[in-house]
Amino acid sequence: MNKALLTICNIKVGTYDVDFAGHVSNISYIRWLEDMRLQLFDSFFPLSNFINKGLVPVIASTKIDYKKPIRLFESPIGYMWIESLGAASIKISAYILVDSVITTQASHVAVFIDQSNGKPVKVPQEIVKAFINYKPIPGPIFF
């Protein structure tokens, strides 16, 4: 049984991540969130298992709140978890911290699509069962 469907990622800020204003570009955050999602799924629900069943996860929406800029040579740490489930959707939340300060809050809504017809399906049972067996993360106080 999982205590939390949580992944923690060390993030490397590359020179290509920094824009002309001297801080990390918005597009880099999207890439980091994708890397964190892949790690989250690899840790708990390998994507290959879903793809072999003809199911693919798709991001339906992304929300990012930039609280403080991240700069070159800083060492961000990303925290991502499954926050809630709907019948056919998953809310995935994330924080990115630098020196224990939340710099970024983000969330995704994801759905699974049946590859044979392109239509959304119910959240796969292995995700539902795992979600039932963990305690939701109570926001920033878990740091």
Helix, strand, coil tally for the chain in percent (to 5): 30, 40, 35
Band the pLDDT of 4: cuts 50, 70, 90. confident
Least confident of 20-29, 77-86, 93-102, 133-142: 133-142
- Does residue 143 form part of some domain? no
CA distance 109 to 93: 9
Q: Average pLDDT over the chain, rounded to whole?
A: 91
Tokens 């924080």 sit on residue: 95
Q: Residue 120: phi, psi to the nearest 5?
A: -65, 150
Give me the domain span that covers residue 76. 6-138
Indicate which CATH number applies to the domain containing 45.
Answer: 3.10.129.10
pLDDT average, residue stretch 132-138:
69
pLDDT (tens digit, 9 = 90+) per residue, 57-99? 999 999 999 999 999 999 999 999 999 999 999 999 999 999 9
- Does residue 103 form part of some domain? yes
State residue 87's pLDDT score.
Answer: 95
- Does residue 80 form part of some domain? yes
Question: For the chain, what is the largest distance between any 2 Cα atoms, rounded to a whole number of angstroms?
Answer: 46
74 vs 131: which has the higher pLDDT: 74
pLDDT average, residue stretch 2-17:
88
- Does residue 1 form part of some domain? no
128 vs 2: which has the higher pLDDT: 128
- Does residue 15 form part of some domain? yes
Domain count, the chain: 1
- Which letter does DSSP use for residue 135 in this model? P
- Does residue 24 form part of some domain? yes
Tokens 């199911």 sit on residue: 55
